[in-house]
Structure 1
């Protein structure tokens, strides 16, 4: 059984890369719940006053947390498993929103208690952590370009630039210094177009297979 999570900044192509991996490994892919998520557009478009009153950042992180936990449990019944973003990254997003004052200290403590309880429950399962995180890394310019290209209306407001930067600036450090759940394969999305270039896609698949072979997982 192989469990892979695809992580990285908003806009860098996690869903597309996860789809490519799923096809290669003949696995179902457990996607981040974006389409049909009623809270997500409100998180991006609400005024600071509405955010304060309605607590959309906290509600969104709780929603992502419960859906991620559900996906992990579902994924464990498959021989190969690909997940679009990890439950560990959810904590990073919640922490950044706490640092920005969008999630209160009390809310963040509650979030961490819920996460700890979920992780304790995962300890009882045959596999509680991924084998590999594929981390999509890119410059801030690439992140902003990709967000613009995919054209989700609620992501395009210029005022969101500071929020995207706050997420991006410490993401590499968090992955390299704090993330300990699995091995990490870094894919530089400034240099590779895994989605649109057949050559880059083949190189990417080869890199993944090479890592999994070294880990005796394929």
Structure 2
């Protein structure tokens, strides 16, 4: 049995709201026989309040996501299976919390507290072997958000999505967290099958994973 079949892998799917992360993460996990760790969205008690009043609830929401993502990664590290994670803890801090601060929705005091909390958590965690970033344009994001029909997401404005896209581009270019990031650009209208095929290709070329296979 080759080395790629024996070792455990930890990959993550990154991207903006409505980029198709959950769809890709779920499908990759099913194809490879890996465990899938999804983002805690549906049961999040802060999201509806946050979209109604970002200034009041931004810190609460980001701390909630941070704590859930931290526990998520602890579970991944203790899992004996290879795993796919839907969004990373690094995105919480570098993309979402930072964008909220720049837009004036998080105070300097809350930002400094949040950053200290993130630094203490991130320093204890294993980095993903590969992060697949789904790059998407705002128009496509808005379309997907509307299609999934979550009531609390109806108030998301396009400027916010655009700012998040800019933050993602800067994060991927900066490599601040020393992550191996591979981008799948869906702005030209790539469909689900094309995205899935490209993700499999990236796993094979970046991590030398032999595909297809089931690894438990």
Tell me how far apart the structure 2 counterparts of residues 41 and 66 of structure 1 sit (CA, whole Å).
Answer: 18
TM-superposed CA distance for 1:167, in Å, is 1.3
5+ residue gaps, structure 1: 123-127
Q: Do the aligned partners of residues 133 and 200 (structure 1) sit closer, same or farther apart at CA in structure 2, a change above 3 Å counting?
A: closer
Does residue 124 of structure 2 align to residue 117 of structure 1?
A: no
C-alpha distance in structure 1 between counterparts of 2:92 and 2:36, whole Å: 18
Alignment of 1:1-218 (within 5 A): 1-46=8-53, 51-52=54-55, 55-76=56-77, 77-91=79-93, 92-122=95-125, 128-157=126-155, 160-190=157-187, 191-194=189-192, 197=193, 201-213=196-208
Q: Matched residue of 1:10: which SS?
A: coil
CA contact 2:24–2:196 (8 Å) conserved in 1: no
**Structure 1 residues 209 and 113: CA distance shift in structure 2, 3 A:** same
What CA RMSD, in Å, does the superposition of the two structures yield over aligned residues?
2.1
Distance 1:40 1:96 in 2: 16
User: Higher mean Cα deviation, 145-154 or 15-24?
Assistant: 145-154
User: Secondary structure of 1:83's match?
Assistant: strand
Q: Deviations over 1:102-146 (max 9, x none)?
A: 111110100011111112333xxxxx1111000000122222222
Q: Which runs of 5+ in 2 are unaligned?
A: 1-7, 210-214
Aligned 8 A contact 1:136 1:188 in 2: yes
Aligned counterparts of 2:161 and 2:57: Cα–Cα separation in 1:
17
Matched residue count: 201
C-alpha contact 1:44 1:160 (8 A) present in aligned 2: no
Secondary structure of the corresponding residue to residue 80 of structure 2: coil
Moved over 4 A (4+): none
Q: Counterparts of 1:73 and 1:152 in 2: how far apart (Å)? A: 29
> Is contact 1:130-1:181 (8 Å) kept?
no
TM-score under structure 1 length normalisation: 0.84
